C-alpha cells in the first residue's frame, strides 16, 4: 500500500487554504493545516474535522514549526487591504519571517515548497498584460507596501534558498481569486459588492470604475497550485495563475446587481492611494508548462459565490456584518 503524501498548508483555514486542504484530502494526501486564525476561520474547515487524514494546528508562521512533511504550501498571510493594513508590521513579518521559517522546514525535511505569491508583485503595472519577467512598479513606502514588498521579499528568499541550498521551490503569482468562503467584510471587491447588493446598499465604486481586474474562481486556482507543485523541478516559477479575461470594476458591479436582482445602484468614491488601474495576467507559461487555464466563467462563479453568501445570511439569521 502506497504511503500517503504528508502535506502542510499554512493559512489552511483561510478562504483559499480551506479549498486547497479539501482538494488535497480528495487526492489521498495526509493534510496538516496550520493557521493562527487572524483571518482564517474554523468554520471554513469544520467539515474536514472528521476526516482521519486531516489535522489542525494553531500556529503562527512567524515562529518555527517542527513537523515531518513531504510538501509545503505556504499560504499564510492576510491578503485583503483591510486585513493586511490593520497591522502592517505583522503583515511584513508574516511574509518574510514566515518564508524563512517554512524554507528552513523544507530544508530540514527535504520537502518541496510552494509560495503563494501575488499579482501585487507587479504594483500598478506599466506592462499589460503582466508577464512573469516584468519587475513591477511598486511604491515601497505606501500603505500597501507591507503586503507588496513583503511578498516580493518572500520571493527573493525562495530563490536564494533554491540557489544556495538546492531546495525544490515553486512560486505562484496569484491574481484576484473569488468564491465561497470569502470573508464577508475583507474589503475585496467581489465580496464587498455581493454583500452590499444583498444588504440593499449602493455598491461602492472607486474612481470611475474603469480600472480592471481579472477574476479567477477558487476551484480553478487550486487546480493551478496543485499542478504547479507537481510540475518538474525545473519549473520553479514564478508562474502567473489567474483569469486572463479582463473585467472593469463597474462591469463587475453591474453584473452582481443583475444576478442579485438588486436595485441599489452605484456610489462613487475617490480612488485609494496606489490602487492599480489595470491588472490582467499573461498565463502563457501556465498553459504551456502546466496545461492549465481557468474553466469556470465569471458569470457561473459569481452565481455560486452569491448563493454562498445568501446561505450565510440565512444561517446567521441576518445579513453578514463586520462582527462575523
Active site residues: 147
Tell me the backbone φ, ψ of residue 18, rounded to 5 degrees: -65, -40
Identify the CA nearest to 228 among candidates 297, 181, 174.
Answer: 174
Q: How far is CA 130 from CA 69, 189, 275, in A?
A: 34, 20, 16
Question: Rounded to whole angstroms, how far apart are CA atoms 146 and 168?
Answer: 27
Instruction: Evaluate the CA torsion angle 245, 177, 319, 303 in order and state its sign.
Output: positive
Q: SS3 for 134-179, per residue?
A: CCCECCCCCCCHHHHHHHHHHHHHHHHHHHHHCCCEEEEEECCEEC
274 backbone φψ class: left, alpha, beta (φ>0; ψ -120 to 50): left
Q: How many CB atoms lie within 10 A of CB 136?
A: 16
Q: Which cell numbers hold the place of 48?
A: 474536514
Q: Cell 474603469 sits at which residue?
A: 210
Q: Are 34 and 76 in contact (CB under 8 A)?
A: yes
Cell 508548462 found at: 289
Pairing outcome for strands 203-206 and 266-269:
parallel
Give DSSP secondary structure letters for 35-92: E--SS--GGGTGGGTT-TTEEEEE--TTS------SEEEE--S--SHHHHTTSHHHHH
Amino acid at each position: 500500500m502506497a504511503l500517503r503524501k504528508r502535506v502542510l498548508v499554512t493559512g489552511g483555514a483561510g478562504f483559499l487554504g480551506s479549498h486547497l486542504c479539501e482538494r488535497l484530502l480528495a487526492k489521498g494526501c495526509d493534510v496538516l493545516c496550520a493557521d493562527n486564525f487572524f483571518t482564517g476561520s474554523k468554520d471554513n474547515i469544520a467539515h474536514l474535522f472528521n476526516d482521519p487524514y486531516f489535522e489542525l494546528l494553531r500556529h503562527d508562521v512567524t515562529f518555527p514549526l517542527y513537523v515531518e512533511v513531504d510538501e509545503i504550501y505556504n499560504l499564510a498571510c492576510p491578503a485583503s487591504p483591510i486585513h493586511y493594513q490593520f497591522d502592517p508590521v505583522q503583515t511584513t513579518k508574516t511574509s518574510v519571517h514566515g518564508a524563512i521559517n517554512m524554507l528552513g522546514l523544507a530544508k530540514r525535511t527535504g520537502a518541496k515548497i510552494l509560495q503563494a505569491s501575488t499579482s501585487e508583485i507587479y504594483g500598478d503595472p506599466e506592462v499589460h498584460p503582466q508577464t512573469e519577467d516584468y519587475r513591477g512598479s511598486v511604491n515601497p513606502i505606501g500603505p500597501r507596501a507591507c503586503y507588496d514588498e513583503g511578498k516580493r521579499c518572500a520571493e527573493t528568499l525562495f530563490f536564494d534558498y533554491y540557489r544556495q541550498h538546492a531546495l525544490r521551490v515553486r512560486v505562484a503569482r496569484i491574481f484576484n481569486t473569488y468564491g465561497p468562503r470569502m470573508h464577508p467584510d475583507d474589503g475585496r471587491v467581489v465580496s464587498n459588492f455581493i454583500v452590499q447588493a444583498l444588504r440593499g446598499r449602493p455598491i461602492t465604486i472607486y474612481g470611475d470604475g474603469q480600472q480592471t481586474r481579472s477574476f479567477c474562481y477558487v476551484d480553478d486556482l487550486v487546480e493551478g497550485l496543485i499542478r504547479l507543485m507537481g510540475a518538474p523541478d525545473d519549473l520553479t516559477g514564478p508562474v502567473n495563475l489567474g483569469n486572463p479575461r479582463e473585467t472593469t470594476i463597474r462591469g463587475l458591479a453591474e453584473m452582481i446587481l443583475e444576478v442579485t436582482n438588486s436595485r441599489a445602484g452605484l456610489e462613487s468614491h475617490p480612488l485609494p492611494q496606489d490602487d492599480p488601474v489595470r491588472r490582467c495576467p499573461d498565463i502563457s507559461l501556465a498553459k504551456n508548462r502546466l496545461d492549465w487555464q481557468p474553466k469556470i466563467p465569471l458569470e457561473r462563479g459569481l452565481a455560486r459565490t452569491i448563493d454562498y453568501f445568501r446561505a450565510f445570511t440565512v444561517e446567521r439569521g441576518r445579513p453578514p456584518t463586520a462582527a462575523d
